[in-house]
Structure 1
Amino acid sequence: MSPRTEPDWTTRPVPGARPRVLIIGAGVGGMATGCYAQMSGMDTRILEKHVLPGGCCTAWSRDGYIFDYCIEWLVGTAEGNDAHRIWRELGALDGKTIRNFELFNRVVDENGRSVTFYNDPDRLEAHLLEVSPADARLIRSFCRDLRRFIGIELYPFLKPAALRTPRENLALLRTVLPAFRLFWRTAATQMHAFSDRFQDPLLRRAFRNIFFQDHEVFPLLPYLFNMAAAHNDNAGFPQGGSLGLSRSIEDRYTSLGGAVTYRARAEEILVENDRAVGVRLKNGARYYADHVVSACDGRTTVYDLLGGQYTSPRIDRLYNEMVDRPGMMYPGVVSAFAGVRGGLDPGEPHSTTYLLSESDAARLPGVLQGSVVVQNRSHYSDGFAPPGHSVIHCTYLSDFAYWKSLRVADRRTYRARKIEVADFLRHFLERRHPGLGERIEVMDVASPATLERYTGNLRGSILGWMSFTEAEDLVSGTVNKERMRLPGLRGFSQAGQWAGMGSLIRSAASGRFVVQYLCEELGLPFRAEESPGTGPWNPDRLGRLPQLDQWRAR
Structure 2
Amino acid sequence: MLNYSHALQLNSIPYKVGALARAGFKSMSIRLYCGWPRLPQGEPVQGGTMGKSVLIIGAGIAGLAAGSYLQRNGFTTHIFDQHTLPGGLCTAWERQGYRFDGCIHWLMGSSPRSNMHHIWRELGAGELNYLEWDIFTVIKLSDGDRFTVYTDPDRFEAELSRLAGPDDSPLIKSIAAAIRNMSRFDLPAAWDKLTLPEAARILFALPGALPIFGTWMKLPIASLLARIASPKLREALSGLYSGDMGDFPVAGLFMMLGFMSKKSCGYPLGGSSAFARSIEKKYLSLGGSISYGFRVDRILVENGKAVGIAGEKGELRGDLVISAADAHDTVERLLGGRYRSPGLDKAFASFRRFPSLLLLGLGLKGDFSSYPHSYSFPLKQPLVLEGGELTLLGMGIRFFSFDPGAAPAGKTAAMVMISTTNDSWWTELRARDRSAYDAAKEESKRRIIAALDSELPGIASAVEYSDLSTPATLIRYTNNWHGSYEGWLPTIKTMGAKLPRTLDGLAGFYMLGQWLNPGGGLPPCGIDGRRLAKRLCQAEGRSFRADA
Same fold, TM exceeding 0.5? yes
Q: What's the counterpart of residue 493 of structure 1?
A: 510
* Residue 60 of structure 1 pairs with residue 90 of structure 2: no
Q: Please report how far the alpha carbon of residue 130 of structure 1 lies from its aligned counterpart in structure 2 after TM superposition.
A: 1.9
Identity of aligned residues (%): 33
CA distance in 1, matches of 2:377, 2:286: 45
Say whether 1:228 aligns with 2:258. yes
SS in 1 for 2:112: coil
TM-score, normalised on structure 1?
0.85
Q: Which amino acid aligns with 2:350?
A: M
Looking at secondary structure, tell me which structure has more strand per residue: 2
Whether 2:186 is the aligned partner of 1:153: answer yes
Tell which deviates more after alignment, 360-369 or 430-439. 360-369
In the alignment, residue 115 of structure 1 is paired with which amino acid? F
Alignment of 1:455-466 (within 5 A): 455-466=478-489
Distance in 2 between residues matched to 1:183 and 1:265, nearest whole Å: 41
| Aligned residues of 1:369 and 1:397 also touching (Cα < 8 A) | no
How far off is 1:515 after superposition? 0.8
Distance 2:129 2:242 in 1: 24
Displacement after TM superposition at 1:79 (Å) = 0.7
Q: 1:225 to 1:17 in 2, by over 3 A?
A: closer
Secondary structure of the 1:237 match is strand
Residue equivalent to 1:271: 301
Whether the aligned pair in 2 keeps the contact of 1:212 and 1:353 (CA below 8 Å) is no
Return 452-461 or 8-17, whichever deviates more: 8-17
Q: Distance in 1 between matches of 2:517 and 2:24?
A: 31
Matched-pair contact (CA < 8 Å) for 1:341–1:441:
yes
For the residue of structure 1 that corresponds to 2:148, the secondary structure is strand
Q: RMSD between aligned alpha carbons?
A: 2.6
**1:152–1:368 CA distance, 2 compared to 1 (3 A):** farther
Would you say 1:312 and 2:341 are equivalent positions? Answer: yes
Q: Does 1:527 align with 2:541?
A: no
Listed one character per residue, the Cα deviations across residues 345-390 of structure 1 (whole Å, up to 9, x for unaligned) are x332211122335x324457643763312111222x2211111110
Q: 1:256 and 1:314, CA in 2 relative to 1: closer, same or farther beyond 3 A?
A: same
Determine which of 419, 423, 431 is the counterpart of 2:442: 419
Q: State the match for 1:542 in structure 2.
A: none
Alignment match, 1:262 = 292
Give the Å deviation of 1:12.
6.5
* Correspondence 1:331-480 to 2 at 5 A: 331-344=355-368, 346-357=369-380, 359-362=381-384, 366-367=389-390, 370-379=393-402, 381-399=403-421, 400-468=423-491, 470-471=493-494, 476-478=498-500
Report the CA distance between 1:170 and its aligned residue: 12
CA contact (8 A) 1:294 1:495 kept: yes
* Contact 2:55–2:322 (CA under 8 A) maintained in structure 1: yes
Which residue of structure 1 aligns with residue 107 of structure 2?
Answer: 74
Aligned to 1:118: 150
How far did 1:455 drift?
0.7
Structure 2 gaps, min length 5 = 5-18, 26-42
* SS of corresponding position for 2:465: strand
Matched, 1:289 2:289: no
Task: Tell me, in whole angstroms, the C-alpha distance in 1 between the residues paired with 2:109 and 2:50.
Answer: 36
- Secondary structure, aligned partner of 1:477: coil
Q: Which digits, 9 at most, give the CA deviation of each residue in 1:104-151, with x for residues without a partner?
A: 221113442221111111111222222223433332221122122121
Q: 2: CA distance between counterparts of 1:41 and 1:64? A: 41
State which drifts further: 99-108 or 287-296. Answer: 99-108
C-alpha distance in structure 2 between counterparts of 1:172 and 1:233, whole Å: 17
Q: What is the aligned partner in structure 1 of residue 31 from structure 2?
A: none
Determine if contact 1:212/1:352 at 8 Å carries over to the other structure.
Answer: no
From 91, 95, 104, the counterpart of 2:124:
91
Per the TM alignment, residue 175 of structure 1 is displaced from its structure 2 partner at its CA by 6.1
The counterpart of 1:190, out of the listed 220, 223, 230, is 220
Q: Which residue of 2 aligns with 1:548?
A: none
Please give the alpha-carbon distance, in whole angstroms, between the structure 1 residues aligned to 2:250 and 2:190.
21
Q: Work out whether residues 395 and 418 of structure 2, in 8 Å CA contact, stay in contact via their aligned partners in 1.
A: yes
Structure with the greater relative contact order (CA < 8 A, sep ≥ 6): 1 or 2?
1
Equivalent position SS for 1:459: helix
Q: Deviations over 1:65-100 (max 9, x none)?
A: 111111011111111422100000000132x22111
Cα distance, 1:315–1:17 mapped onto 2, change above 3 Å: same
What runs of 5+ residues in structure 1 fail to find an aligned partner? 479-483, 531-554
What TM-score does the superposition give when structure 2 sets the normalisation length?
A: 0.86
User: What is the identity, as a one-letter code, of the residue corresponding to 2:424?
Assistant: A
Conserved? CA contact 2:60–2:89, under 8 Å: yes
Matches within 5 A, 1:242-253: 242-253=272-283
Structure 2 contact 382–392 (Cα < 8 Å) conserved? no
The letter of the residue matching 2:333 is D
Alpha-carbon distance in structure 1 between the residues aligned to 2:371 and 2:340 = 50
